[in-house]
Amino acid sequence: MKYADLAVPSRALHLWRYTPWARIHPSSVESVPDATPVRFSLIEGGAALVDGAPRIVDGDDIARVFLSELGSSATTVQTDGSTGVVHLQAVASGHVAVGHLHLEFNHDTAVVLHLSGEADWTGLHVTGAVAPNTRGAFGLINELSSNGKLLHCEDWAVERDAFLELAGLSIGGFRCKSDIRTRFHNTGGRLNQAISVHGAGQRHVDHHVEIHHDVAHTDSSLHVHAACDDQSHAIATGLLSIAENANHCDAGQVFKNLLLSEKARAEAIPELEVLADEVAAAHGAASAPVDPNQLHYLMSRGLDEESAVALLIEGFMQDGFSTLENEALVDEMRTRLTVHLECELKR
Amino acid sequence: MTMSEEILRVENLHVSVDGTPILNGMDLLVNRGEIHVIMGRNGAGKSTLASVIMGHPAYEITQGNIHYMGTNLEEMDVFERARAGMFLSFQYPAVIPGVKVGTFLKKSVQAVREEEVKGREFRKEVNEAMASLEMQKSVLNRYVNDGFSGGEKKRLEILQMLLLKPHLALLDETDSGLDIDALRIVSKGINTVAPNAGCLIITHYQRLLDHVKPHFVHVMIDGAIVQSGGPELALKLESEGYEWLDAPKEA
């Protein structure tokens, strides 16, 4: 399917309700502008970057088709298993920047991608697969400049007895739309996914997460934590799909929002499509301001209100990563989060 | 004879929550080195007294005042009270997911001492305090009170008290839910701080007083102290209950 053949998606669709296509498109919706390739580089770790990647485009999904038509270049990460964690940098520059990164997890490895740059609009498509009986972990730290837009898609395939951990830390960009999809291709697969969002100013951050249990005996866990201050707006929509006959799956989704100002907004919309009978599927969502008892407790230990709230924000966002098992990935996400909040909250 | 150093003076204190009176003319004087125990039935206002002294925003002082080391507390924010040397061991300490105990302790000690604490010296200090309370070092990497048992929470409260070295220690049912060994350990922590502080202990049970020897025992009924005495008063309450203190009912 060509982008020109696709209709602009309706806001009635779950996926496009809060961030319509026209608001995340870099220009007018009928155009496909020229784009500068995102520059990927290896910061450290046992891996090689090679040109080219398999094209994985989901039939008629407008974001993926659009990203595909914007840029033809792609980069594949080949890890060698010599280090536990691989750090990559992606730099977006120019008016419109686009990049496609592909990861094949054939060794137990964590890959952390630091996305930064001054591009007005960045498109990023990450695709990957975790080989049978392998533990792969991927973390994306969005550190784009504060006035940039981001359209970000991920597509993951989890093979037999493979374990994938996905972490997202969203602290950059002005308007961000992420669509992250994972599909279990065989039995015994596991997914642990955690996303932490810090909303400040007028940031608009929209995460759509789909997890497809197409086969039996697969487990998934999703935790999304968004701390929203000022006039920011965080959205998290989750689609948890368990196919007919995909019995004995265990899946859970938790969405938590911390509202730090009266004008901050947060939406948390988990959605279940369960067609199998013998499964465990649960979801929960909660939005609340700072807990006055927690605040009082910290202040009774000498922290002034600003410091106490800052510590609660940090704790809330750090807690989003608590379910992840890969220590190197968790350490990296948490360290970057702490640095960000120290600057942002001026402690 | 030396003059006693006044730590806490509560005068004719009336306190309400959402318009409901809880404390109705409370008077109390605590000097440095003194251990005061407050006992009373559930709902008598004991925890309210501790909370209002510490400055919990839910409570409104409608009459009377509280002086801490000569300063009227009314204008002091909660964190200022902590920095001035006041400490409340909470009956139900808050759970704070995502904040590690080690981080929390360091930030708290830095805030109260109003100076940067040096890493190695602070670790040594924490290790010694934890050892005295027979606490595992792994607690430092856990989130504050998250998944803690009742006993673990109370030990963490006492650990904070040891590190913050308060002038006034308010202990709100710190002995509740503790087994015999934990009670002994927590009492040891209280006895470490007590000689250099004014101590106000709220409890329902005499058994804590087997380990911590009070100078004064007070009984609260309906938001005011109705009886004061020495340790023997706690023993009498243990054996006879509170009924003998109730005002006779009209026929």
Q: In the predicted model, is pLDDT for residue B3 greater than 80?
A: no
Q: What is the CATH number of domain B6-246?
A: 3.40.50.300
**Sequence spans of domains, chain A:** 3-290
pLDDT in tens, A91-145: 999 999 999 999 999 999 999 999 999 999 999 999 999 999 999 999 999 999 9
B135–chain A nearest CA distance, Å: 20
User: Hey, is the C-beta of B143 within 8 angstroms of any chain A C-beta?
Assistant: yes
Query: What is the spatial distance between Cα B64 and Cα A107, in angstroms, rounded to a whole number?
Result: 70
Query: What is the spatial distance between Cα A293 and Cα A296, in angstroms, rounded to a whole number?
Result: 5
Are the Cβ atoms of A301 and B108 closer than 8 angstroms? Answer: yes
pLDDT in tens, B144-186: 999 999 999 999 999 999 999 999 999 999 998 899 999 999 9
A–B CB contacts, 8 A cutoff, strictly below? 82
Q: Please give the structure tokens belonging to residue B84.
A: 């001035």
**Sequence spans of domains, chain B:** 6-246
Confidence band for A187, pLDDT divided at 50, 70 and 90 = very high
Average pLDDT, chain A: 94
Query: What is the spatial distance between Cα B154 and Cα B160, in angstroms, rounded to a whole number?
Result: 10
* Confidence (pTM): 0.92
Starting at the edge strand found earlier in the chain, the sheet holding B20-31 runs: B20-31, B6-17, B60-68, B71-72
Contacts of A237 (CB under 8 A, 6+ apart): A14, A15, A17, A18, A206, A207, A208, A209, A267, A269, A270, A271
B251–chain A nearest CA distance, Å: 45
The verdict on ipTM greater than 0.90 is yes
Identify from A301, A307, A341 which residue to disrupt to test chain B contact, counting B C-beta atoms within 10 A and taking the largest count: A301
